[in-house]
């Protein structure tokens, strides 16, 4: 039986300065199918869907939608044709209600006074429970995603693009989302599902197109593949998963003792009575969905925000809670913030100058206020060679490096200071698999050398593979740490979601 494909891409090409992001991409999505678009970070997935959604124009190639030529001038034209998109990063106004948020995004004829009723209808028929009159800042991440999905569905799209929808969800929420997606498929709508989570794709999708470095490297039925074979297609060689051999931990190096810190802003999270010990040679992970206090905890550990009492944070027994970042670094702490550009590094400054941000003291780059640029340059070169940072010179601006290379530079800058305690947020976020493995190896070596390492991450796979123990941060509260070896992903999901639900009950 031959049916007209819903979406057909023919040799679509788009380049950016210095890189061909999409090179002659062919892709066919049939009606009523969930089609996976699979690839590592930087493989070209985002560029491709932006062209389908009308946010970018292709340099060459053509698209057909439902058999007719399709060249959307902008996202509004794409939506009018029947293409909807749910973004990975939500574009919602936190201080407005669900209905208001949806109304601003709809064409005027769809945003009438009956909108709240239609929101209820749509959310009820798909099991997407949503109150049109609740304010978005009161909603959990999963509920915010429902707002985006409902907003998309109100325009009756025939093709829905979903960009890594599960990256911010708890395992339970993922299950509910999949139920909705399958229902949409059964109605005859198609879904283009972007992800690099192999298990999900095998579970959900009937077709997959795999991108690597801007090209299509294969298509398959994911259900017929193993996660290993899919991963191999994605990254081009066998997945190297580093499994840490647990060693006997030493004395407590970093101690967080009943740390309580009120939120700095209206939309921040209060840290409530957090306690945790990290011992020498140990890597401890803190899991949790973004926005549950990770940023606040990081600021408190770096010293960007001071604790009320000195012994809320201590290092090798010495209280540091009221000290600033420079004093903490002098005592042996090092930090890798989640945001590389703008927090861990300054984009417009050279790599040499970027070493001065955190290594002035421990690498003797400053003597009584006078900066030693020769030493800074040598240190930058040392980082570049030790961590395989791909760059032409240490005089290049940090912003000219790719995300993965900049991350290696920032991590290298901290590790090569020989810290006794390293605290890293999302150490491999947006980093390709090879660089991620290198970073994990470096962290492991640092721990073996006797440092205590704390990793705050949303990537459960990462935490389970490199951490000895881990705890879950939810609603500003930290669970008791558990050994990674004897915990299942489902249990963590319950910890993450359970704590979040508890918080909601408190609020109600």
Task: Identify the residue among 1, 18, 186, 486 touching other proteins (CB under 8 A).
Answer: 18
Give residues 350-389 in contact with other proteins (rule: CB under 8 A).
Answer: 353, 356-358, 360, 366, 369-371, 373
Among 25, 63, 130, 278, binds other proteins (CB under 8 A): 63
How many amino acids of this chain bind other proteins (CB under 8 A)? 45
Is residue 393 a contact point for other proteins (CB under 8 A)?
A: no
Query: How do beta strands 271-279 and 252-261 pair?
Result: antiparallel
Nearest CB to other proteins, comparing residues 113 and 265: 265
d(CA 402, CA 383): 16
Q: How far is the CB of 149 from other proteins (least distance, A)?
A: 30
Closest CA to 151 of 167, 169, 130: 130
88 or 397, CB closer to other proteins? 397
Under DSSP, the state recorded for 350 is: B
Please say which residue, 80 or 348, places its beta carbon nearer to other proteins.
348
Rounded to a whole number of angstroms, the minimum distance from the CB of residue 159 to other proteins is 18
For residue 332, the SS3 value is coil
Backbone angles phi, psi at 242, to 5 degrees: -85, 120
Q: Which two tokens stand for residue 286?
A: 């803190």
Query: What is the DSSP-derived secondary structure letter of residue 428?
Result: T
**In the bound complex, what is the minimum distance in angstroms from residue 345's beta carbon to other proteins?**
7
Q: Which is nearer to other proteins, 179 or 326 (CB)?
A: 326
Between residues 111 and 349, which has the closer beta carbon with respect to other proteins? 349
Residues 309-328 that bind other proteins (CB under 8 A): 324-327
Give the Å distances, CA to CA, from 451 to 278, 283, 286, 409, 419: 9, 9, 17, 19, 7
Total Cβ atoms within 10 A of residue 74: 12
Site string for other proteins, 237-266 (x = CB under 8 A): ------------------------------
Report the side by side order of strands in the sheet with 68-70: 19-29, 7-16, 60-65, 68-70
Could you tell me the smallest distance in angstroms from the CB atom of residue 412 to other proteins? 16
CA 93 vs CA 88, 100, 129, 138: distances in Å = 15, 9, 19, 12
Q: Which tokens hold the place of 336?
A: 């890798």
Site for other proteins contains 110 (CB under 8 A): no
Please report whether residue 50 would count as binding other proteins according to CB under 8 A: no
Written as six digits, the tokens of 397 are 């601006």
| Under rule CB under 8 A, residue 59 binds other proteins | yes
Residue 196's H or E segment, with its range, is none
Q: With 0-12 CB in 10 A as exposed, 13-18 as middle and 19+ as buried, what is 18?
A: exposed
Site string for other proteins, 266-305 (x = CB under 8 A): ------------------------------------xxx-
Give 384-390's long-range contacts (Cβ < 8 A, gap of 24+).
384/351, 384/409, 384/412, 386/412, 386/416, 387/411, 387/412, 387/438, 387/442, 388/438, 389/351
Nearest distance from C-beta of residue 47 to other proteins, angstroms: 14
- Of the chain, the end-to-end C-alpha distance in Å amounts to 54
Smallest gap from Cβ 445 to other proteins, in A, equals 24
> Within positions 65 to 84, which residues make up the interface with other proteins, using CB under 8 A?
69-71
Q: Does 404 interact with other proteins (rule: CB under 8 A)?
A: no
- 344 touches other proteins (CB under 8 A): yes
Q: Alpha carbon 448 to chain centroid distance?
A: 28
Examine residue 399 and tell whether it contacts other proteins (CB under 8 A).
Answer: yes
Helix, strand, or coil here: 276? strand
Between 303 and 321, CB nearer to other proteins: 303
CA distances from 40 to 135, 226, 404, 432, 434 (A): 35, 17, 12, 7, 11
Q: Pick the closer one to other proteins by CB: 101 or 355.
A: 355
Total residues belonging to the chain: 508
CB of 347 to other proteins, least distance (A): 7
Which one, 309 or 397, has the nearer CB to other proteins? 397
**Residues 106, 115, 346, 487: which binds other proteins (CB under 8 A)?**
346
| 84 versus 303: smaller Cβ distance to other proteins | 303
How far apart are CB 369 and other proteins at their closest, in Å? 5
Minimum separation from the CB atom of position 434 to other proteins (A): 23
**224 touches other proteins (CB under 8 A):** no
- Cα(366)–Cα(362) distance, rounded to whole angstroms? 9
Among 221, 339, 491, 502, binds other proteins (CB under 8 A): 339
The contact set with other proteins (CB under 8 A) reads: 17-18, 57-60, 62-63, 69-71, 302-304, 324-327, 329, 335, 337, 339, 341-349, 353, 356-358, 360, 366, 369-371, 373, 396-397, 399-400
């Amino acid at each position: 039986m031959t049916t007209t494909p819903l979406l057909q891409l023919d040799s679509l090409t788009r380049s950016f300065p210095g890189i061909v992001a999409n090179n002659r991409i062919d892709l066919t999505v049939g009606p009523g199918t969930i089609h996976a678009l699979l690839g590592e970070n930087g493989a070209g997935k985002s560029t491709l869907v932006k062209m389908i959604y009308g946010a970018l124009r292709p340099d060459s190639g053509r698209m057909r939608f439902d058999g007719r030529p399709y060249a959307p001038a902008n996202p509004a034209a794409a939506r009018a044709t029947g293409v909807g998109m749910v973004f990975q990063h939500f574009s919602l106004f936190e201080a407005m209600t669900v209905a208001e948020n949806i109304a601003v995004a709809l064409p005027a004829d769809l945003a009438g006074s009956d909108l709240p009723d239609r929101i209820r209808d749509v959310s009820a028929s798909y099991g997407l429970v949503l109150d049109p009159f609740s304010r978005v800042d009161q909603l959990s991440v999963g509920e915010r995603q429902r707002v985006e999905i409902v907003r998309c569905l109100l325009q009756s799209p025939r093709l829905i693009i979903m960009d890594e929808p599960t990256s911010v969800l708890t395992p339970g929420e993922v299950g509910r989302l999949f139920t909705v997606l399958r229902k949409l498929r059964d109605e005859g709508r198609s879904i283009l599902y972007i992800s690099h989570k192999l298990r999900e794709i095998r579970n959900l999708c009937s077709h997959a197109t795999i991108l690597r470095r801007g090209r299509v490297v294969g298509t398959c039925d994911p259900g017929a593949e193993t996660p290993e074979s899919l991963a191999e297609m994605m990254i081009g060689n066998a997945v190297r998963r580093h499994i840490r051999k647990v060693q006997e931990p030493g004395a407590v190096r970093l101690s967080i003792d009943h740390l309580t810190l009120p939120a700095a802003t209206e939309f921040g999270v209060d840290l409530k009575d957090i306690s945790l010990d990290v011992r020498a040679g140990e890597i401890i992970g803190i899991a949790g969905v973004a926005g549950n206090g990770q940023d606040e905890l990081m600021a408190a550990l770096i010293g960007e925000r001071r604790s009320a009492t000195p012994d809320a944070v201590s290092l090798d027994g010495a209280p540091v809670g009221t000290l600033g970042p420079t004093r903490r670094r002098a005592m042996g702490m090092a930090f890798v913030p989640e945001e590389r550009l703008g927090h861990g590094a300054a984009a417009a400054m050279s790599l040499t100058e970027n070493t001065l941000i955190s290594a002035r003291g421990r690498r003797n780059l400053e003597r009584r206020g006078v900066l030693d640029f020769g030493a800074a340059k040598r240190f930058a070169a040392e980082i570049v060679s030790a961590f395989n940072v791909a760059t032409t010179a240490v005089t290049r601006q940090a912003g000219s490096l790719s995300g993965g290379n900049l991350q290696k530079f920032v991590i290298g800058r901290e590790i090569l200071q020989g810290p006794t305690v390293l605290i890293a947020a999302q150490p491999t976020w947006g980093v390709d698999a090879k660089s991620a493995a290198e970073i994990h190896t470096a962290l492991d070596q640092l721990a073996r050398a006797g440092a205590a390492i704390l990793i705050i991450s949303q990537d459960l796979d990462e935490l389970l593979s490199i951490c000895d123990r881990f705890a879950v941060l939810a609603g500003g509260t930290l669970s008791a740490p558990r050994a990674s070896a004897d915990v299942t992903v489902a249990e963590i999901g319950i910890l993450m979601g359970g704590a979040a639900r508890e918080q909601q009950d408190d609020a109600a």
